[in-house]
Amino acid sequence: MTAPVSRPYALYDVFTATPFCGNPLAVVFAADGLSDERMQTIAAEFNLSETVFINKPVNPAHTAALRIFTAVQELPFAGHPTVGAAIAIVEARRMAAGDALSGVNTSVEMLEEKIGLVRAAVRIAPDRPGFCEFDLPKRSAHVEVDFDEAMIAAALGLGLHEIGFENHRMGVWSAGVPILLVPVGDVETVSRAVCNATLWQETAPVVAGKEGPAFAYVYSRGGVSHDADFHARMFAPGEGFVEDPATGAAVAALSGAIALFDGLNDGHHNYRIEQGVEMGRPSSIGLHLDVAGGQVAQARIGGEAVMIASGHLLV
């Protein structure tokens, strides 16, 4: 019998500066040698929305290769594992070097993910949560797929008349992970949404490249926080959890819808999306869009993360 290998791990709360808010993430270091099946088993054992495994990069000029798993499947890309992993790598590197942190320190980390190379800028400072902002590896695009809007609304406990606001309409968008965006008129309607898992599995669209139906992202303008531009909830029945407190991949998908439906002028546009409020785990996700010639030229997502635990896996 092969002796187990001690692999360090850390738990982070992501898209928040406050422990036990935001989206919890397991970060497993030194994951080289773990099979796909073993990584999936470990992710199921942590039973969080996502677990990220840090491996040596294929290209030695890059920082690391990331593998991202929910409790039931691997994802090609996800926002809160990218933010959490980048911050965890930088913090672990400094701890290993024994450096005393003095002032603000910044670095650029190149992360190999299934979707492609992700450039992440990390900032750490004494007595502050780490901050990371990354370039979207793929621009959000609308996905043509058939679905019944009335049935989708019913699966979310809403009426068809409550769907849509201004120019925003329901549709599937993807920047690596397909998301069914469901715009509604106000924060109160978002808060009333309740996902019927059985009905969702029966009625939600299935998109090529993803096991199971698309995730549901219900959003409106405004928010509970005074600085929020959008208020959102993300439902993912069938993924081992019903609701997610912070979803970078959904915000990445939302970027395309914002650019189209709001008819953004050329220039820089900055947004703050709040999520997880109804779960008691409020999160804050920053979205930056650079528009040129009426098209999104570049999009970035950013947020903070704080470590709440660490240990070793014997696998």
Catalytic residues: 50
- Taking the C-alpha atoms of residue 284 and residue 302, their distance in angstroms, rounded to an integer, is 9
According to DSSP, residue 208 is labeled: T
Within 10 A of 87 (CB to CB), how many other CB atoms are there? 29
Give residue 242's Cα distance to chain centre: 15
Tokens 């959490």 sit on residue: 84
Distance CA(205)–CA(267), nearest Å, equals 34
Q: Give the separation between CA 244 and CA 236, rounded to whole angstroms.
A: 7
Q: Which residues pair with 26 in a beta bridge?
A: 11, 51
Using DSSP's 3-state secondary structure scheme, residue 312 falls into strand
Long-range contacts of 66-70 (CB under 8 A, 24+ apart): 66/111, 66/112, 66/113, 67/31, 67/39, 67/114, 68/113, 68/114, 69/39, 69/40, 69/42, 69/43, 70/43, 70/236, 70/239, 70/240, 70/241
